[in-house]
């Protein structure tokens, strides 16, 4: 019996290693396949990194999104750009591919710490496999994590923060400070770090509801205090420069004047869904014919959430569901105010999306008595199909001369 368990553990470990290797290889291919600057805001992110490297200080944001100066990302929190500026070189091409390669490194960190977080969730080997397939092969995430974008840092920072939180002893001040430090790192990486703040808050509040111990609230208060102190300089700088703690006032174009709230909500939600599964390009213009498969993932999320709320009401799973809900609401709000709705805005909760989906997937294969190994192969083929069709769409755009913007944007001043 013990030998059988050891054999199963060894097979599971090998499978996870294979998934990681496949994830790395497909990203390395994508890294060189996508034309330079042919990813969302990639040139603006690149310019931010070069500015810090060449001027040795942070830039001030003046331009609105879409301006010809290509510097509208200057309002973004600086951590991602500061780190990459350390690896800047004189050659634009060399620097560009170094920065893209860094994104692949960040994917590796995300994958490894996701496995550690999943061990704490204790959802079983099969669901863990589903989650890691999701993280390794989700087409849109492959394209994002093969390009220059601060999404690539907020995702591993989120996962590492969750890991630190789940492995901390909150009776020790140093552990509370450690969680605060990682929350601060997420805040100075990207504003979508608010999702992490909500996760930590929900975790302690649900602990309080469950245990009726005011120590949970005291611990949450200390984390909030430490985080406020650590991130104060960043917020005060924004306030001084932009009259806004977030720095949005001078950094974004005025949002769409919607005819009605229902029209706005319909457009935002639809765009959020279809751009989650398999899209690429500067403005998500590479949309394969199967991008509506996103709606299958949505149905999986709805079913998975229902299963968790009815049968698996553990503290961690409820916190994951709550956090994803907040992420969706914030993405809708951002879309309404700034007319920007993209599936990658949900990536700070990517591990939670994958976990919730894994519950629905296991429910379905159990219901229809599908072999587990076969079902994992089917899932791999499902995501591979999405990636393959996206590459085919890229090829079609290349042949039809629709990627001319990429050639023009290489000429960075």
pTM of the full structure: 0.91
Average pLDDT over residues 285-312: 87
Residue 172 exposed, middle or buried by CB count within 10 Å (0-12, 13-18, 19+): exposed
Using pLDDT thresholds of 50, 70 and 90, give the confidence band for residue 254.
low
- For the ranges 8-17, 201-210, 236-245, 323-332, the lowest mean pLDDT is seen at 8-17
Question: What pLDDT is stored for residue 149 in this prediction?
Answer: 96
Question: Residue ranges per domain, the chain?
Answer: 41-409
The HSE-up count of residue 272 (CA atoms within 13 Å, CB side) is 23
Helix axes 350-367, 294-311, angle to 10 degrees: 80
The distance between the two most distant Cα atoms of the chain, rounded to a whole number of Å, is 66
What's the mean pLDDT when you consider all of the chain? 88
CA distance 177 to 165: 11
The CA–CA distances, whole Å, from 152 to 99, 137, 149, 350 equal 11, 15, 6, 12
Predicted pLDDT of residue 399: 80
Q: How confident is the model at residue 408 (pLDDT cuts 50, 70, 90)?
A: very low
- What whole-number distance in Å separates Cα of residue 48 and Cα of residue 132? 32
The conformation of residue 244, written as its DSSP 8-state character, comes to: S
Which token pair is 185? 């790192």
pLDDT digits (tens, 9 = 90+) for 83-122: 999 999 999 999 999 999 999 999 999 999 999 999 988 8
What one-character DSSP code corresponds to residue 255?
A: P
| CA 170 vs CA 122, 152, 164, 179, 408: distances in Å | 21, 29, 11, 10, 53
Report the alpha-carbon distance of residue 394 to residue 288 in Å, rounded. Answer: 9
- Predicted confidence (pLDDT) per residue in 26-58, tens digit: 999 999 999 999 998 999 999 999 999 999 999
Distance CA 280, CA 267 (A): 19
- Kindly report, residue by residue over 340-380, the tens digit of the pLDDT: 788 999 999 999 999 999 999 999 999 999 999 999 999 99
Strands (E), 308-406: none
pLDDT of residue 13: 84
pLDDT category at 249 given cuts 50, 70, 90 is low
CA angle (268 as vertex; 266, 273 as ends), nearest 5: 95
Residue bearing tokens 């509506």: 292
CB 48 within 8 A of CB 59: yes
Helix (H, G, I), strand (E, B) or coil at 286: strand
Angle between helices 372-399 and 2-33 (to 10 degrees): 0
- Give pLDDT, residue 9: 56
Among 67, 388, 315, 328, residue whose Cα is nearest residue 194: 328
């Amino acid at each position: 019996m013990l030998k059988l368990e050891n054999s199963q553990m060894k097979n599971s470990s090998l499978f996870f290693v294979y998934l990681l290797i496949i994830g790395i290889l497909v990203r390395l291919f994508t890294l060189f396949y996508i034309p330079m600057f042919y990813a969302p805001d990639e040139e603006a992110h690149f310019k931010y990194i070069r500015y810090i490297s060449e001027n040795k200080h942070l830039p001030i944001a003046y331009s609105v999104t879409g301006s010809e100066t290509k510097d509208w990302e200057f309002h973004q929190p600086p951590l991602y750009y500061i780190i990459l500026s350390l690896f800047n070189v004189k050659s634009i091409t060399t620097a560009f591919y170094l920065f893209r390669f860094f994104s692949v490194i960040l994917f590796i960190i995300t994958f490894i710490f996701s496995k550690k977080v999943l061990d704490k969730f204790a959802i079983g080997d099969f669901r863990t496999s589903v989650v890691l397939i999701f993280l390794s092969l989700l087409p849109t995430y492959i394209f994002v994590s093969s390009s220059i974008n601060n999404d690539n840092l907020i995702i591993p920072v989120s996962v590492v923060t969750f890991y630190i939180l789940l492995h901390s002893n909150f009776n020790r001040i140093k552990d509370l400070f450690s969680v605060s430090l990682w929350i601060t790192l997420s805040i100075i990486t990207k504003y979508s770090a608010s999702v992490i703040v909500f996760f930590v808050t929900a975790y302690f509040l649900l602990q309080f509801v469950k245990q009726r111990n005011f120590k949970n609230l005291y611990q949450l208060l200390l984390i909030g205090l430490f985080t406020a102190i650590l991130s104060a300089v960043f917020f005060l700088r924004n306030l001084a420069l932009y009259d806004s703690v977030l720095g949005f006032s001078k950094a974004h174009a005025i949002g769409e004047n919607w005819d009605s709230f229902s029209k706005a909500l319909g457009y935002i939600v639809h765009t959020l869904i279809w751009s989650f599964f398999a899209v690429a390009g500067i403005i998500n213009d590479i949309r394969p014919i199967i991008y509506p498969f996103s709606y299958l993932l949505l149905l999986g999320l709805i079913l998975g959430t229902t299963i968790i709320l009815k049968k698996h009401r553990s503290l961690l799973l409820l916190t994951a569901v709550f956090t994803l809900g907040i992420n969706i609401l914030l993405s809708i709000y951002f879309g309404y105010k700034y007319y920007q709705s993209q599936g990658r805005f949900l990536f700070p909760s990517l591990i939670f999306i994958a976990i919730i989906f894994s519950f629905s997937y296991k429910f379905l294969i159990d219901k229809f008595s599908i072999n587990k190994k076969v079902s994992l192969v089917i899932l791999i083929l499902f995501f591979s199909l999405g990636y393959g069709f996206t590459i085919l769409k890229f090829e079609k755009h290349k042949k039809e001369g629709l990627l001319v913007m990429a050639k023009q944007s290489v000429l960075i001043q």
